[in-house]
């Protein structure tokens, strides 16, 4: 990052792994679904499915359409409208559940037992997990076949963070990169932080929470891989943080203003937590650090409601523009020259 109000030092060693532009549905979930659906075909599934906090539903719907599968996805009823529409447009069937993600996931486990459907995050989960590793491979490749000192990863079910570590370990074993210690830092929203809380309290077991956060893609109160995520962080000498609703929104704006990347709420969680980790000196400016930006801001515009005023329209006349300019200059000087 070049400049910011929060990172009060200059650093040339902070990198962004930008999955807000993943193909085809603008989140890191496109990676996991690519691998899971390849295997769904090998297994001969006609119907593919998932329980989802939104991004996974988008990825399953799009890639099922492309691959000739029928798609049926299960979501909590209160998901962001853009994520619902971004699933329906591909012709997928949506089943909205009156409950949170943990209720949806439990139901999907029961359905997967009974029907011959390929649930990408239930009976196809090992393949889904392999897909997450590609993010780790690309981080090493794009750093010039080097490993970073630190990685900051948003956590929902807690799978991605451990798979990036697995990817790095594989590259070390294959001698694609030199072995070195990498610290793993997990990021959650304060309103749903079962994994971060366990790390901060020194526990290795998750105490489930009831999610209440704008970071809906991370709103999993009882994370399936939480135990392993804790091991990855603590075992590597890393740590966990959580970001409040206001910190998430401010971090979304910070990333947009400094880097021109519009991320969703999960990206706000990552940047907001990274800022705290620097302030706590758990991450040092001279260390090579990668932030994982996992989703696109156009899917979670609801979180920014009320942040910006819509300017009054002016007539398409030069005189009107100059009048507007004068008014603005007057406003700025009235405010003491500050914006
Ligand atoms: C799914 C998801 C993650 C990480 O999820 P894990 O379950 O922890 O692997 C991170 N960011 C976004 C935007 C996601 O949709």
Model confidence pLDDT, tens digit, residues 45-104: 999 999 999 999 999 999 999 999 999 999 999 898 999 999 999 999 999 999 999 999
Residue 71, strand partner residues: 48
Burial (Cβ within 10 Å: 0-12, 13-18, ≥19) of residue 21: exposed
Helix (H, G, I), strand (E, B) or coil at 127: helix
Confidence label for 334 from pLDDT (cuts 50, 70 and 90) = confident
- 84, containing H or E segment: helix 81-88
- Ligand 1 contacts (CB < 6 A) are 27-29, 55, 154-160, 217, 264, 266, 294-295
The pTM score is 0.93
Which ligand 1 atom is at minimum distance from the Cα of 295? 13
For 1-5, 33-37, 192-196, 251-255, which range has the lowest pLDDT when averaged over its residues? 1-5
Per-residue model confidence (pLDDT) at position 12: 75
Residue 7 Cα to ligand 1 middle (Å): 25
pLDDT at 149 > cutoff 50: yes
N- to C-terminal Cα separation, the chain = 22
pLDDT in tens, 115-148: 999 999 999 999 999 999 999 999 999 999 999 9
213 has a pLDDT exceeding 80: yes
- Ligand 1, atom 10, lies closest to the CA of 154
The yes-or-no verdict on residue 338 having pLDDT over 80 is no
Q: Name the residue of 76, 79, 105, 156 to mutate for ligand 1: max ligand atoms within 8 A of Cβ.
A: 156
Compute and round to an integer the Cα radius of gyration of the chain: 21
The answer to whether residue 336 scores a pLDDT higher than 50 is: yes
Banded model confidence at residue 3, pLDDT cuts 50, 70, 90:
very low
Percent of the chain with pLDDT over 70: 96
**Angle at CA of residue 337, ends 333 and 339, nearest 5°:** 110
- The CA distance from 196 to 184, in Å, is 12
Q: How far apart are CA 25 and CA 28, in angstroms?
A: 9
State the distance from the centre of ligand 1 to the C-alpha of 154, rounded, in angstroms. 6
Give the pLDDT confidence score for residue 253 in this predicted structure.
97
Cα torsion 18, 24, 30, 31 to 10°: value is -70
CA of 148 to the centre of ligand 1 (A): 21
Rounded to whole angstroms, the Cα distance separating 262 from 194 reads 27
Which H helix or E strand runs over 131?
Answer: helix 125-142
Q: State the pLDDT at residue 93.
A: 97
Nearest CA to ligand 1 atom 14: 217
| Index of the ligand 1 atom closest to the CA of residue 55 | 15
**299 CA → ligand 1 middle, Å:** 14
Which tops the pLDDT comparison, 296 or 9?
Answer: 296
Extract the tokens encoding 258. Answer: 């400094």
Ligand 1 geometric centre to CA of 160 (Å): 7
Task: Please state, in angstroms and rounded to a whole number, the distance separating the CA atoms of residues 269 and 275.
Answer: 10
Per-residue pLDDT at 333: 87
So what's the pLDDT on residue 33?
98
Indicate which atom in ligand 1 lies nearest the CA of residue 157. Answer: 7
* CA 227 vs CA 28, 199, 235: distances in Å: 22, 10, 12
Mean of per-residue pLDDT scores for the chain: 94
Quote the ligand 1 centre to 315 CA distance (angstroms): 46
**pLDDT score, position 337:** 61
H-run or E-run covering 248: helix 245-259
Is the predicted pLDDT of residue 236 greater than 60, yes or no?
yes
Flag whether pLDDT at 113 surpasses 90. Answer: no
Give the separation between CA 113 and CA 122, rounded to whole angstroms. Answer: 10
Instruction: List the strands of the sheet with 93-97, edge to edge.
Output: 93-97, 70-76, 47-51, 118-119
């Amino acid at each position: 990052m070049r400049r910011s109000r929060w990172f009060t030092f200059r650093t040339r060693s902070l990198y962004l792994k930008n999955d807000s532009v993943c193909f085809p549905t603008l989140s890191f979930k496109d990676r996991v679904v690519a691998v899971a659906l390849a295997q769904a075909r090998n297994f001969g599934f006609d119907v593919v499915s998932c329980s989802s906090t939104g991004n996974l539903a988008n990825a399953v719907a799009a890639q099922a359409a492309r691959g000739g599968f029928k798609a049926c996805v299960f979501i909590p009823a209160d998901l962001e409208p853009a994520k619902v529409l971004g699933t329906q447009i591909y012709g997928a069937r949506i089943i909205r559940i009156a409950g949170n993600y943990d209720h949806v996931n439990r139901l999907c486990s029961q359905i997967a037992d009974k029907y011959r459907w390929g649930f990408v995050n239930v009976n196809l989960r090992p393949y889904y997990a392999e897909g997450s590793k590609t993010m780790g491979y690309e981080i090493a490749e794009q750093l010039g076949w080097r490993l970073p000192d630190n990685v900051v990863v948003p956590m929902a079910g807690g799978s991605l963070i451990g798979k990036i570590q697995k990817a790095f370990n594989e590259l070390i074993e294959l001698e694609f990169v030199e072995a070195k210690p990498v610290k793993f830092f997990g990021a959650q929203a304060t309103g749903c932080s079962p994994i971060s809380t366990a790390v901060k309290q020194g526990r290795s077991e998750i105490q489930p929470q009831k999610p209440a956060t704008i970071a809906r893609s991370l709103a999993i109160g009882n994370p399936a891989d939480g135990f392993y995520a804790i091991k990855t962080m603590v075992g590597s000498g890393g740590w966990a943080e959580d970001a409040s609703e206001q910190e998430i929104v401010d971090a979304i704006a910070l990333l947009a203003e400094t880097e021109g990347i519009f991320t969703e709420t999960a990206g706000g969680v990552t940047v907001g937590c990274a800022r705290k980790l620097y302030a706590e000196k758990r991450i040092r400016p001279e260390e090579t650090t990668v932030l994982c930006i996992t989703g696109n801001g156009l899917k979670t515009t609801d979180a920014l409601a009320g942040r910006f005023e819509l300017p009054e329209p002016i007539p398409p006349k030069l005189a009107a523009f100059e009048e507007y300019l004068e008014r603005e200059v007057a406003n700025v000087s009235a405010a003491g020259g500050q914006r």
